[in-house]
Structure 1
Amino acid sequence: MRIDFGKINSGNTSNTALHPREIFTALPAKKEGKFEYPRDVQTQVWDHWFSRRDEKDLVVKMNTGSGKTVVGLLILKSCLNEGKGPAVFVVPDNYLVKQVVSEATNLGIEVTEDTNSPRFLSSRAILVVNIFKLVNGKSVFGVGDEGIKINIGSIIIDDAHACIDT
């Protein structure tokens, strides 16, 4: 009898796949009926992003209602799977924080609002915060050379125009 040790930890590919579409397909806890398959525009954005994922400062522009939150969450999940964490999803206000957390929960993607979460700090969960948490004089992400500093491996800034006003 032969044992294939390569299959022992094969489990959930949503934690190992790199392409966002593959992660989406493999998510075991997606809310049935809501996320049966990604929209064509989401797949196109993921394909373009994936081919350029090693470039810095990429901008993704999508129309309202096209599923930007899902796209952003899957991109950050891909980054975590590739070892580019911790990952942060930034939005303009607390109302949108709750929306992103709800969408992530429906997808079965682990998120947190706690900057001290061991799951976030160990790159296992995506941190969802408003722009004020990132940009302020006492930011946990560091201000100049002083204070506690949390390095960010990957970041999505949703609704950048509203965040820039801040």
Structure 2
Amino acid sequence: MATRKFGVQGWGSASVAGLAFAAGALTAFATRRRRYEELRLRVAEMERGARQNAMLDQQRAQHYLLSKAMDDADLAAVYSTVQVDSPVRQRQYLFANAMYTNALLAYRVEVVSWEELHGHLRMFCQNPIFRAYWDAHRPHRSSLEGNSTEARVGRMVDRLILDLDEADTEEWWVVGEPPTE
């Protein structure tokens, strides 16, 4: 009676070594791939941080210029091309611009969400001076690229003003739904 052998037949030590090498190479490849992905994510995070820092630096410069313009009517005349009836109104518009750009920056650097930005802007839109500023600067917004963040936020403000005007409630803080991002 013949004996049956079970297992791998004809596999010598070289074949086993080859399989072990291939398994090791695949493990090393998977480890390298995972490390590459981790590094790619870290670089992307650093680039995002660099963009946010650049936006913050730009905001500081804008705030400095706005502050100078609010303190000096001669400089305010250079800062804005919108014609107003008094230096007081001009400073109010400059301040409205500072409030708006601050809220926009908070969204851009992810301090506030889209929904939170909507809430802040809804509050701004309650103010008649902000509304007058917004209306006076409509021609400036028309030059924005249609899908830019600022254009989308501008459309949100326009919609909020419309919703608030059409609302049949005094509870302004519940008016309007934030548009989808």
TM-score range relative to shorter protein:
0.3 to 0.5
Larger Rg: 2
Name the one with the larger strand percent. 1
Higher helix share: 2
TM-score, normalized by length of structure 1? 0.37
Which structure is richer in relative contact order (CA contacts within 8 A, separation 6 or more)? 1
